[in-house]
Amino acid sequence: MSETRSSSALFKRAEQLKRWEESETNRQPSEMGNKPKKIKFSSGCVFLAACASSDKEEVLNLLKSGADINTANVDGLTALHQACIDNNLDMVEFLVENHADVNRGDNEGWTPLHATASCGFLSIAKYLIEHSANVAACNNDGELAIDIAESDEMEDLLQRHIELQGINPEDARTFEERSMLEDAKFWLSSGCLGDVPNPKTGASALHVAAAKGYIKVMNILIQAGADLNFQDYDGWTPLHAAAHWAQREACQILVENFCDMDVKNYVGQTCFDIADVELVSFLEDLRKKQASMERSQQDINNIASKQQQQRNNILPKRRLSSDRSPLSKAGGEAPHTPSGGGDGSVTIGGEEDATPADKMAKVEVRDRKMDTSSGAPGGGDRNEQDLKNRLNREDTSPKISPSATNASAVTNSTNSSSSVPSNNNNNNAVTSPSPKTEDEIFWKPASGLRRKTTDTKNITLSKLLSASLSGSVF
């Protein structure tokens, strides 16, 4: 049974091969075999590989062909960094003699001396210091080489050279921050932000300040107009940098100034994706705080807008004097608007500027109007009531001696705060108050006087008239 299956499989395979040989695909010439198979590496990778293998001859040939001796890998490590880490003093000397930068930092700010101190290689450290390595250089964490020294011997070596060069370690640790602070203050005072992104990383000054927690620098850069959402060559914003390096206060400042927390870098990561694990919950709280601040800011803007609109809609009030009213210009009567001081006097629009003769003329015009209206239905009753009110007011007004005035003056006399001199040339003559119109008497009685309560309902018009002429009092 198994032999039958085997022979059947072989037969089928033979048929497949036969069909393949007869197919059009098999008849087409193959070109893949004619193409040379090469993998081409970048010149930088070739140079670093030659240095790592200590092939000095190859390194010299590459340098002659234009290779950069300070070429770095993706982490920013140069050939000198790698030689120090490998404790290859011979290669270190060769690279330094060919002008390698002894103070070149990697992506973390570590110089070759930092790498040597962390590994504890004393001979390489001495050689680097003798060839101008900076013992005061700081990495991105603000650490000197002495701060990360692996052994006591290394620490003693570095401390001795720090003292010989008169370096203040604390000043050295804050040198970068102080330099950035001076630049930021200059940009703010000049009104021109002169920040130029790093040519290698594309990072702005705000990126650096946020990553290292330079709070004063951040505040001034923001005041100077730094872009809170500026992205470097990897798409990182300052908030990405602050979150990745766990700078809480820097994150808070950026969020409170309304940076965009949802910006993604060029691989689709937000600040939450690359943040330090202990900082994620803090960022979530900051997101809620920012949303609340945006709502509050919107409410403030709405209120300010409404207040501005109200101020724009309010027109200045016109102050009109009574003597410029249309009625005054036309010679008509001003509206009877009671006003006055504490003495109870009544001022009618236009009356204060009029002469006594004008006031008397107005009284006569009013009397004629009242006489002509008596013929109308109900006119007599209105005149009769007006006379009653007039007599009641006259009855309660102060009496003036007959020697100081005539009968017509007694009829029109009222309590008044202003007075006019008498026409009598006698020096002992009593000054009488200025005559008031019927409108004044009608609208308000003299202040502080009680009105006469005599019932005048049954008094006839003829008695009232005779009383008015004789000056008698009921």
- In one-letter notation, the amino acid at residue 169 is P
Q: Report pLDDT digits (tens) over 234-261.
A: 999 999 999 999 999 999 999 999 999 9
Same domain, 152 and 52: yes
Per-residue model confidence (pLDDT) at position 423: 43
- Judge whether 143 lies within some domain: yes
Cα–Cα distance between 100 and 83 in angstroms, integer? Answer: 12
| Last residue of one domain, picked from the residues 293, 313, 344 | 293
| Last residue of one domain, picked from the residues 293, 321, 337 | 293
- Judge whether 105 lies within some domain: yes
Instruction: Mean pLDDT check: name the lowest of 43-52, 212-221, 348-357.
Output: 348-357
Same domain, 186 and 275: yes
Per-residue model confidence (pLDDT) at position 21: 72
Return the higher-pLDDT residue of 73 and 334: 73
CATH of the domain at 217: 1.25.40.20
Same domain, 163 and 193: no
Q: Is the pLDDT of residue 354 over 60?
A: no
Confidence of residue 89 (pLDDT cuts 50, 70, 90): very high
Q: Report pLDDT digits (tens) over 271-309.
A: 999 999 999 999 999 999 999 998 888 878 888 887 787
Confidence of residue 7 (pLDDT cuts 50, 70, 90): low
Q: Is the pLDDT of residue 189 over 90?
A: yes
Return the higher-pLDDT residue of 351 and 284: 284
| Last residue of one domain, picked from the residues 234, 263, 293 | 293
- Judge whether 443 lies within some domain: no
Span 71-82, average pLDDT: 93
Per-residue model confidence (pLDDT) at position 40: 64
Same domain, 206 and 278: yes
Same domain, 227 and 281: yes
Span 424-438, average pLDDT: 47
Same domain, 145 and 191: no
> What does pTM read for this prediction?
0.53
Per-residue model confidence (pLDDT) at position 428: 44
Span 323-331, average pLDDT: 46
Q: What is the mean pLDDT of the chain?
A: 76
Name the range with the highest mean pLDDT among 236-250, 332-346, 356-370: 236-250
Span 398-403, average pLDDT: 47
- Judge whether 57 lies within some domain: yes
Question: According to the 3-state scheme, what is the secondary structure of the chain?
Answer: CHHHHHHHHHHHHHHHHHHHHHCHHHHCCCCHHHCCCCCCCCHHHHHHHHHHCCCHHHHHHHHHCCCCCCCECCCCCEHHHHHHHCCCHHHHHHHHHCCCCCCCCCCCCCCHHHHHHHHCCHHHHHHHHHCCCCCCCCCCCCCCHHHHCCCHHHHHHHHHHHHHCCCCHHHHHCHHHHHHHHHHHHHHHHCCCCCCCCCCCCCCHHHHHHHHCCHHHHHHHHHCCCCCCCCCCCCCCHHHHHHHCCCHHHHHHHHHCCCCCCCCCCCCCCHHHHCCHHHHHHHHHHHHHHHHHHHHHHHHHHHHHHHHHHHHHCCCCCCCCHHHCHHHHHCCCCCCCCCCCCCCCCCCCCCCCCCHHHHHHHHHHHHHHHHHHHHCCCHHHHHHHHHHHHHHHHHHCCCCCHHHCCHHHHHHCCCCCCECCCCCCCCCCCCCECCCCHHHHHHCCCCCCCCCCCCCCCCCHHHHHHHHHHCCCC
Provide the percentage of residues in the chain whose pLDDT is more than 70.
60
Instruction: Mean pLDDT check: name the lowest of 42-46, 212-216, 230-234, 407-411.
Output: 407-411
Instruction: Mean pLDDT check: name the lowest of 74-88, 194-208, 345-359.
Output: 345-359
Name the range with the highest mean pLDDT among 31-35, 227-231, 340-344, 464-468: 227-231
Question: How many domains does the chain divide into?
Answer: 2
- Judge whether 380 lies within some domain: no
Same domain, 180 and 126: no
Confidence of residue 461 (pLDDT cuts 50, 70, 90): low
Query: Domain range holding 156?
Result: 43-167
Same domain, 61 and 156: yes
Same domain, 158 and 100: yes
- Judge whether 182 lies within some domain: yes
